[in-house]
């Protein structure tokens, strides 16, 4: 290594991005998930973060002319068993190259140290991918980072310090690999409820995040917030849409994706739906939103 | 240093000592004719003695009233003049420029810290663009070195901010120079990108290596007027069992950057993260890297939320008083806070 070689010249005119599989959401994200950095998706359960992740695994395989990376992907999961059926269902309705499931590598995660160990061996997998994958690996999804840290650490200064040191190690490894191989890295994170009335530390565009009518904050605290480049927040809210026979209240779930912080995106949000065919942005909101953007 | 140690004849040094000239500094402001008279020697001989003395101790033979005793030293007066002549880089937020005395000062190391999403990287990018504003628009017409340790530098955002900067200059043209055609600004957004030397750093060893290499790099690229490190912190929060080593490394880096700032009269911007510090039974937010680091930078600006507005607070500066000013991060970059200037609220 010599320092001269770290100078990047000339700078590319744009950052390569990976489509999320829906033009409205892509417009919202100004092209999709950026390569060379870490994008975090924060949400409570059943908001759609795994849905978006799965869809990404498929859309990454699209050729660059369609906004994809023509790439295989690596999916590291620490929560529930991997939802094969859903991925298969999505692959039927998404335009992907032949046998899309061959281009997705899946690996379970047991602990933070296990993740760290995997990351240090990642080079060899990326350089020599398994023979059935037809593309180089350009997308890594970690679903979720929070689950790795939930049980192992106590709430005392020593453990907290060890925990935050691990955050920075993991983030640094991920970023280094992302930079080296031009990877798009997506990390999902859970939320914690805010119970006390104090405002806490405000991170990002809105003073507090609301989902299902509760005040929440991204899990893993301030140190981890320093470790990601872009943070997106998914929220869901039940909305009453008229009463049915007095006994049952018909509700509808509305979901929003919003930018908490990002170096390249303004403070904005977009409604989306989760359907059988996948995750889609809702144009109605987006049209108004675009208008606002033009006005300002 | 003693007169005795000068390579002059024994009789000369005896004469000097008996006349009361025991140290070199006592010879510093003596005129040759005066010395010749006092020691009873020829003026040529006196000049010879003073010459030797000046070579040894940096004493100059001069007829002026205030010779420099230590080579390279400056008087405070000279420094004041120099400081007035060396420029500032505007932050594009007039309120903040006001409390900073015109913008970020060259020749100094300025630390900017705040929570994630407050706009640290936005400041970094804005300054990398603003340093390039041509001198006829009051800029430094320099280039930027951007050391990215976190990967948040997005070329799209640079183009966006550069475009807005070009537009502002065109507006300025059309207001003040109506006689000139509107397309006077020849700078294109892409030129701004080309004038940023971008280093992407993936470990602390790389970070130290690049900062050591900067002196050589900048002496080859003298038009670099700002060095931005985004962030100084990231790689130093991982793996340091030995905190004393960390402190030494960071201290060494700060000294190098300070030297660079002085030597090439450029501004150094260090972005820093915040951390919560446990003191007095509660957690409080402070800038990362600890107490010894807080002495490392000349100026310290803390960015924070106040209600729904972003504020910048001058926490430490030897020459300007503490104050805070609101700012906004808009599509066009850092600007005055919208609530204050009654502009249409931007995104």
Contacts of B205 in chain A (CB under 8 A): 1
pLDDT for A183 equals 95
Give the residue extent of every domain in chain A: 13-295
> Could you tell me if B344 lies within 8 Å of chain A, comparing CB atoms?
yes
Answer yes or no: do A13 and B278 touch at CB < 8 A: no
Answer yes or no: do B237 and A168 touch at CB < 8 A: yes
**Residue A267, token pair as written in the block:** 């403070």
More confident position, A254 or B176: A254
State the complex-level ipTM. 0.89
Q: How confident is the model at residue A179 (pLDDT cuts 50, 70, 90)?
A: very high
Q: Could you tell me if residue B70 is inside a domain?
A: no
Across the range A208-219, mean pLDDT stands at: 87
Three-class HEC string of B56-104:
HHCCCCCCCCCCCCCCCCCCHHHHHHHHHHCCEECCCCHHHHHHHCCCE
The CATH number given to A13-295 is: 3.40.50.300
> Could you tell me if B283 lies within 8 Å of chain A, comparing CB atoms?
no
Answer yes or no: do B344 and A226 touch at CB < 8 A: no
Contacts of B276 in chain A (CB under 8 A): 201, 222
Q: Could you tell me if residue B68 is inside a domain?
A: no
Rounded Cα distance between A285 and A66, Å, is 24
Q: How confident is the model at residue B57 (pLDDT cuts 50, 70, 90)?
A: low
Three-class HEC string of chain A:
CCHHHHEECCCCCCCCEECCCCHHHHHHCCCCEECCCEEEEECCCCCCHHHHHHHHHHHCCCCHHHCCCCCEEEEEECCCCCCHHHHHHHHHHCCCCCCHHHHEEEEECCCHHHHHHHHHCHHHHHHCCCCCCCCCEEEEEEECCHHHHCCCCCCCHHHHHHHHHHHHHHHHHHHHHHHHHCCEEEEEECEEECCCCCCCCCCCCCCCEEECCEEEEECCHHHHHCCCCEEEEEEEEEEEEEEECCCEEEEEEEEEEEEEECCCCCCCEEEEEEECCEEEECHHHHHHHHHHHHHC
More confident position, A68 or A206: A68
Among A107-111, B116-120, B189-193, B247-251, the least confident range = B189-193
Domain that holds residue B12: 3-57
> Could you tell me if A30 lies within 8 Å of chain B, comparing CB atoms?
yes
Instruction: Identify the burial level of A83 via C-beta atoms within 10 angstroms of its C-beta, where 0-12 means exposed, 13-18 middle and 19 or more buried.
Output: middle
| Chain A stretch 68-127, residues whose beta carbon is closer than 8 A to a beta carbon of chain B | none
Q: Could you tell me if residue B65 is inside a domain?
A: no
User: Is there a single domain that holds both residue B206 and residue B277?
Assistant: yes
**CA distances from residue A127 to A122, A131, A138, B134, B293 in whole angstroms, order as listed:** 9, 12, 11, 46, 40
Contacts of B150 in chain A (CB under 8 A): 175, 229
Among A73-77, A82-86, B147-151, B311-315, the least confident range = A82-86
**Residue B133, token pair as written in the block:** 């504003």
Contacts of A13 in chain B (CB under 8 A): 155, 159, 190, 193
More confident position, B34 or A280: A280
Cross-chain CB nearest to A202 (options B125, B305, B346) = B305
Rounded Cα distance between A116 and A109, Å, is 10
Across the range B179-183, mean pLDDT stands at: 55
More confident position, B313 or B6: B313
Residue with tokens 């680091």: B293
Rounded Cα distance between A239 and A242, Å, is 9
More confident position, B340 or B327: B327
User: Is there a single domain that holds both residue B23 and residue B170?
Assistant: no
User: Is there a single domain that holds both residue B138 and residue B265?
Assistant: yes
Cross-chain CB nearest to A203 (options B115, B238, B239) = B115
Contacts of B347 in chain A (CB under 8 A): 266-268, 292-293, 296
User: Is there a single domain that holds both residue B320 and residue B182?
Assistant: yes
Answer yes or no: do B344 and A295 touch at CB < 8 A: yes
Number of H helices, E strands in chain B: 12, 13
Interface residue of B148, B151, B246 to substitute, partner A, most A CBs within 10 Å: B151
**pLDDT tens digit string along B84-101?**
777 899 999 999 999 999
CATH number at residue B10: 1.10.150
pLDDT for B286 equals 87
Among A235-249, B118-132, B158-172, B195-209, the least confident range = A235-249
Q: Could you tell me if residue B63 is inside a domain?
A: no
User: Residues of chain B with pLDDT > 90: what percent?
Assistant: 50
| Chain A stretch 150-209, residues whose beta carbon is closer than 8 A to a beta carbon of chain B | 157, 164-165, 168-169, 172, 175-176, 178-180, 201-205, 207
Q: How confident is the model at residue B171 (pLDDT cuts 50, 70, 90)?
A: confident
Across the range B240-263, mean pLDDT stands at: 91
Q: Could you tell me if residue B246 is inside a domain?
A: yes
Residue with tokens 């446990």: B278
How does the average pLDDT of chain B come out, rounded?
85
Contacts of B210 in chain A (CB under 8 A): 3, 6
**Considering its fold, how many domains does chain B have in total?**
2
Contacts of B203 in chain A (CB under 8 A): 172, 176
pLDDT for B69 equals 54
Answer yes or no: do B193 and A267 touch at CB < 8 A: no
| Chain A stretch 226-265, residues whose beta carbon is closer than 8 A to a beta carbon of chain B | 226, 228-229, 231, 260-261, 263-264
Among A21-25, A160-164, B296-300, the least confident range = A160-164
Q: How confident is the model at residue A244 (pLDDT cuts 50, 70, 90)?
A: low
User: Is there a single domain that holds both residue B141 and residue B188?
Assistant: yes
User: Is there a single domain that holds both residue B27 and residue B130?
Assistant: no
Q: Is the predicted pLDDT of residue B28 greater than 70, yes or no?
A: yes
Does an H or E element contain B232, and which? none
Answer yes or no: do A267 and B273 touch at CB < 8 A: no
Q: Is the predicted pLDDT of residue B23 greater than 70, yes or no?
A: yes
Query: How would you classify the pairing of strands A72-77 and B299-306?
Result: unpaired
> Could you tell me if A16 lies within 8 Å of chain B, comparing CB atoms?
no
Q: How many CA atoms lie within 13 A of B297 on its CB side?
A: 28
Q: Could you tell me if residue B217 is inside a domain?
A: yes
Answer yes or no: do B197 and A172 touch at CB < 8 A: no
pLDDT for A262 equals 95
A178 and A171 in contact (C-beta within 8 Å)?
no
Q: Is the predicted pLDDT of residue B70 greater than 70, yes or no?
A: no
B31 and B21 in contact (C-beta within 8 Å)?
no
């Amino acid at each position: 290594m010599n320092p001269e070689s770290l100078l990047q010249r000339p700078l590319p005119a744009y950052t390569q991005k990976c489509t999320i599989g829906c033009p409205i959401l892509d417009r919202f994200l100004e092209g999709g998930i950026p390569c060379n950095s870490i994008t975090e998706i924060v949400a409570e359960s059943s908001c759609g973060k795994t849905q978006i992740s799965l869809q990404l695994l498929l859309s990454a395989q699209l050729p660059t002319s369609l906004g994809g990376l023509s790439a295989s992907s690596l999916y590291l999961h620490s929560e529930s068993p991997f939802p094969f059926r859903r991925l298969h269902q999505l692959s039927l309705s998404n335009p992907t190259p032949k046998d899309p499931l061959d281009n997705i590598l899946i690996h379970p995660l047991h602990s933070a140290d296990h993740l760290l160990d995997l990351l240090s061996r990642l080079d060899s997998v990326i350089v020599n991918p398994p023979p059935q994958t037809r593309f180089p690996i350009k997308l890594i999804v970690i679903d979720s980072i929070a689950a790795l840290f939930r049980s192992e650490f106590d709430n005392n200064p020593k453990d907290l310090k060890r925990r935050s040191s691990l955050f920075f190690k993991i983030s640094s490894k991920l970023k280094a690999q992302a930079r080296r191989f031009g990877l798009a890295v997506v990390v999902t994170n859970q939320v914690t409820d805010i119970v006390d009335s104090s405002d806490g530390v405000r991170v990002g565009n809105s003073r507090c995040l609301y989902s299902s009518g509760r005040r929440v904050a991204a899990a893993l605290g301030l140190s981890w917030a320093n470790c990601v480049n872009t943070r997106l927040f998914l929220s869901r809210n039940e909305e009453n849409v008229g009463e049915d026979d007095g006994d049952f209240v018909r509700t509808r779930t509305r979901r929003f994706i919003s930018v908490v912080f990002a170096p390249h995106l303004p403070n904005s949000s977009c409604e989306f739906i989760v359907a059988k065919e996948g995750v889609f942005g809702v144009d109605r909101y987006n049209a108004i939103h675009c208008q606002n953007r033009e006005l300002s | 240093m003693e007169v005795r140690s000068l390579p002059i004849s024994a009789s000369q040094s005896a004469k000097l000592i008996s006349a009361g000239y025991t140290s070199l500094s006592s010879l510093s402001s003596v005129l040759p004719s005066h010395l010749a008279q006092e020691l009873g020697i020829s003026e040529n001989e006196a000049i010879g003695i003073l010459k030797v003395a000046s070579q040894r101790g940096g004493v100059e033979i001069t007829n002026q009233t205030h010779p420099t005793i230590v080579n390279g030293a400056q008087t405070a007066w000279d420094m004041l003049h120099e400081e007035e002549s060396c420029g500032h880089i505007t932050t594009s937020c007039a309120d903040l420029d006001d409390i900073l005395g015109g913008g970020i000062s060259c020749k100094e190391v300025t630390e900017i810290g705040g929570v994630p999403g407050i706009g640290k990287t936005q400041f970094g990018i804005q300054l990398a663009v603003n340093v390039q504003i041509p001198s006829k628009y009051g800029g430094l017409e320099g280039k930027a070195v951007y050391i990215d340790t976190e990967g948040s530098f997005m070329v799209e955002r640079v183009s966006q901010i550069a475009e807005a900067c070009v537009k502002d200059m065109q507006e300025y043209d059309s207001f003040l120079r109506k006689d000139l055609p509107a397309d006077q600004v020849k700078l294109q957004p892409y030129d701004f990108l080309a004038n940023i030397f971008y280093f992407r750093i993936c470990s602390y060893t790389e970070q130290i290596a690049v900062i050591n290499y900067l002196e050589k790099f900048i002496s080859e690229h003298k038009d670099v007027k700002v060095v931005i490190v985004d962030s100084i912190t990231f790689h130093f929060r991982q793996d340091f069992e030995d905190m004393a080593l960390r402190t030494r490394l960071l201290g060494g880096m700060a000294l190098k950057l300070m030297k660079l700032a002085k030597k090439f009269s450029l501004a150094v911007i260090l972005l820093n993260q915040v951390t919560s510090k446990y003191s007095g039974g509660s957690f409080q937010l402070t800038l990362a890297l600890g107490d010894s680091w807080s002495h490392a930078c000349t100026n310290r600006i803390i960015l924070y939320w106040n209600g729904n507005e972003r504020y910048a607070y001058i926490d430490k500066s030897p020459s300007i008083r503490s104050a805070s000013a609101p700012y906004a991060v808009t599509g066009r970059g850092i600007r005055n806070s919208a609530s204050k200037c009654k502009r249409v609220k931007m995104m």
